[in-house]
Amino acid sequence: MIAKSGEPIWAVGLMTGTVLDGNIDVALIKTDGERIADFGTYTLAPYPRSIRTLLEETLRQARTWSFTGPEPAIFREAEEALTRAQSAAVKDLVESYGLTMADIGVVGFHGQTVLHRAPQPGRLGQTRQLGDGALMHAILGTKVAYDFRSADMRAGGQGAPLSAAYHAALLRDADISGDTAVLNLGGVANITWWDGKDNVVAFDTGPANAPLNDFIKSKGLGEMDRDGALARAGTVDEARLAKLLQHPYLAKPYPKSLDRFDFGAAMADGMNAEDGAALLTAFTAAAVGKALDLLPHRPKRLVVSGGGRHNPTIMAMLASRAAVEAVPAEALGWKGDAVEAECFAFLAVRVLRGLPISFPTTTGVPQPMRGGRLAG
């Protein structure tokens, strides 16, 4: 598909989060990389169990590797498997919407983050997403934007969060700013605040679903605290929570980013399922409250996307422990489960058109940065 420069084009975005919920998030939008012309469609495409097991083992080996020495051989196997599965998911979504791949201008392929290490004074950060953009291009015959984070980190940036440009576009379309910010509750929580003019601030606030899900799994109680039921039945150990809230990351000025394992289920070691879930949920919410205090202007309302918004206990604790009104993305007519995948469709068009995808106030790069690689 060829469009004149600046005209909106159809783009597909792919996201698989660090909680390994077994799904590929796939979204289709029409955009020029600045405004959203059409919210097309969205689906959760389940990974086969074999790939999910492969990815869990890959993450385990990635933590052992820790950017030292040659990459584990499993990376190549996992990369090909997930690239083929995600390519099939793109084709299925496009065809279900009555389009063909020839109608698609670009695919934004985030890949699977297996390790992310934020920069430290005197040391650049490192990140590794598995995803073979060239293979996906060969399968689909469409341009593929991928490897979105590496250039930012080579320039001294955090490499995350990258959702700010898209969140700001959503806020602009909804004509809201300042008093309203976007909070994404994935494995890690990140926030985007826009002043209504030129200032967009974004950073990771702390953990979200990752430690809670890991804790629930460790208790043999399933994949997550469904509907926040365990946390709601538990009692928050306020003294233990107060200790956790002294973690230096929470007071550190932005820009800043986290790996999925920077805050782990060990925060609730020795606790029963209900009280542990209550503690981890309260910590997520209270950490968001601390993040709001760092912003140029403390918002009164958060529009919440990501899986965490399905947890009513987290949503209630955002009100009680972060002192902010929290509403699901659907309250603004957004598709809350689609936002992150839509974001990578949006960023793919920006990559295609040579527009920046990260900024000094979002990842800490010295100047607005282009990023991503393009296959095809």
Mean of pLDDT over the chain: 96
What pLDDT is stored for residue 68 in this prediction? 97
DSSP summary character for residue 122: T
Helix orientation angle between 209-218 and 273-294, rounded to the nearest 10 degrees: 170
What pLDDT is stored for residue 6 in this prediction? 84
Helix orientation angle between 164-173 and 339-352, rounded to the nearest 10 degrees: 100
Written as one string, the DSSP assignment of 325-368 is: EEEEGGGGT--TTTHHHHHHHHHHHHHHTT---B-TTTT--SS-
Average the pLDDT over 190-202 and give the result: 95
Give the span between the Cα atoms of 9 and 32, in whole angstroms. 6
Give the span between the Cα atoms of 72 and 114, in whole angstroms. 11
> Are 103 and 214 in the same domain?
no
Query: Does the residue 89 lie in any domain?
Result: yes
What pLDDT is stored for residue 264 in this prediction? 97
CATH number of the domain that residue 325 is part of: 3.30.420.40
Tokens of 233: 């039945």
Residues facing 183 on adjacent strands: 191, 304
Q: What is the residue type of 55? A: L
Query: Does the residue 123 lie in any domain?
Result: yes
Give, in order, the Cα–Cα distances in Å from 214 to each of 19, 21, 217, 373: 9, 11, 5, 33
> Are 137 and 13 in the same domain?
yes
Kindly report, residue by residue over 302-347, the tens digit of the pLDDT. Answer: 999 999 999 999 999 999 999 999 999 999 999 999 999 999 999 9
3-class SS at 123? strand
Give the span between the Cα atoms of 139 and 334, in whole angstroms. 31
> Are 48 and 140 in the same domain?
yes
> Are 134 and 190 in the same domain?
no
What pLDDT is stored for residue 197 in this prediction? 92
Query: Does the residue 3 lie in any domain?
Result: no
Query: Residue 248: which H helix or E strand, with range?
Result: helix 248-251
> Are 326 and 177 in the same domain?
yes
Q: Which residues contact 76 (CB under 8 A, 6 or more apart)?
A: none
Number of domains comprising the chain: 2
First to last CA, the chain: 12
R_g of the chain, CA atoms, integer Å:
19
Q: What is the residue type of 253? A: P
Give the span between the Cα atoms of 285 and 307, in whole angstroms. 14
Give the span between the Cα atoms of 274 and 264, in whole angstroms. 17
Query: Does the residue 2 lie in any domain?
Result: no
Query: Does the residue 316 lie in any domain?
Result: yes
> Are 123 and 147 in the same domain?
yes
What pLDDT is stored for residue 250 in this prediction? 98
Give the span between the Cα atoms of 124 and 155, in whole angstroms. 8
* pLDDT confidence tier of residue 65, bands split at 50, 70 and 90: very high
Query: Does the residue 204 lie in any domain?
Result: yes
> Are 73 and 193 in the same domain?
no
Average the pLDDT over 71-75 and give the result: 98
Kindly report, residue by residue over 210-263, the tens digit of the pLDDT. Answer: 999 999 999 999 999 999 999 999 999 999 999 999 999 999 999 999 999 999
> Are 186 and 264 in the same domain?
yes
> Are 42 and 91 in the same domain?
yes
Give, in order, the Cα–Cα distances in Å from 359 to each of 81, 137, 162, 241, 301: 33, 28, 9, 33, 24
Give the CA angle between residues 47, 53, 72 to the nearest 5°: 115
> Are 123 and 226 in the same domain?
no
* pLDDT confidence tier of residue 5, bands split at 50, 70 and 90: low
Give the span between the Cα atoms of 244 and 103, in whole angstroms. 50
Look up the domain containing 261 and give its range: 172-332
> Are 252 and 123 in the same domain?
no
Give the CA angle between residues 96, 94, 184 to the nearest 5°: 105
Kindly report, residue by residue over 98-115, the tens digit of the pLDDT. Answer: 999 999 999 999 999 999
Are 326 and 302 within 8 A, CB to CB?
yes
What pLDDT is stored for residue 305 in this prediction? 96
